[in-house]
Amino acid sequence: MEDPVDKLLQQWAQERPELDCSSLSVVVRVIYLAKVFRQSAEQALATLDLKLWEYDVLSALRRQGPPFQLPATGLARASMLTSGAMTNRIDRLEARGLVVRATDPDDRRGVNVQLTGRGRELTDAAIEARLRAADRQLEALSIGERRAVSASLRRLFLEAAPGAEGG
């Protein structure tokens, strides 16, 4: 069974037969799948009235364990955002009652962002929704195949984005 990438590669093979487009077969599929996976994640989170960017921030806090907090600068770094962009996101999450700001006891100029009880409950429901969506998307692969794909993608990620933090 062919997918749209096969057609794209066939077209290049016809137009430029001297080129080896095998790398594109992987890269373009990853790009297409990223779009599909993102849409699925957004749909799963929409049922909880949560946007993907909100989940990214909340899950970064939830994964820390009690007291579920991080310095605002650490959140920005983990999300690969500027401090200004993170401030805007924190403002919006705080307005929804999902996080609170607290002065960093070790640095009065610093701000810690902490998950509220409501934020924790929503994040716990969200990770379950995300996992269900991911399971549905990968049901064509066995557990062994999923592990093999994950290992290959990890190698590529580490090579392509050294030092990047994932969420």
- CA separation for the pair 157, 141 (Å, rounded): 21
Q: Is residue 14 part of a domain?
A: no
Tokens read off for 52? 């993907």
* 106 — pLDDT class (breaks 50, 70, 90): confident
Q: Is residue 48 part of a domain?
A: yes
Q: Is residue 88 part of a domain?
A: yes
Q: Is residue 123 part of a domain?
A: yes
Q: Is residue 2 part of a domain?
A: no
Domain that holds residue 81: 23-159
Domain CATH for 112:
1.10.10.10
**For 26-45, b where at least 16 C-beta lie within 10 A, e where not — what string?**
eebeeeeeeeeeeeebeebb
- CA separation for the pair 22, 26 (Å, rounded): 7
**pLDDT score recorded for residue 165:** 54
Q: How many domains does the chain have?
A: 1
Q: Is residue 16 part of a domain?
A: no
Strands 107-115 and 99-104: antiparallel
The pLDDT tens digits for 30-80 are: 999 999 999 999 999 999 999 999 999 999 999 999 999 999 988 888 888
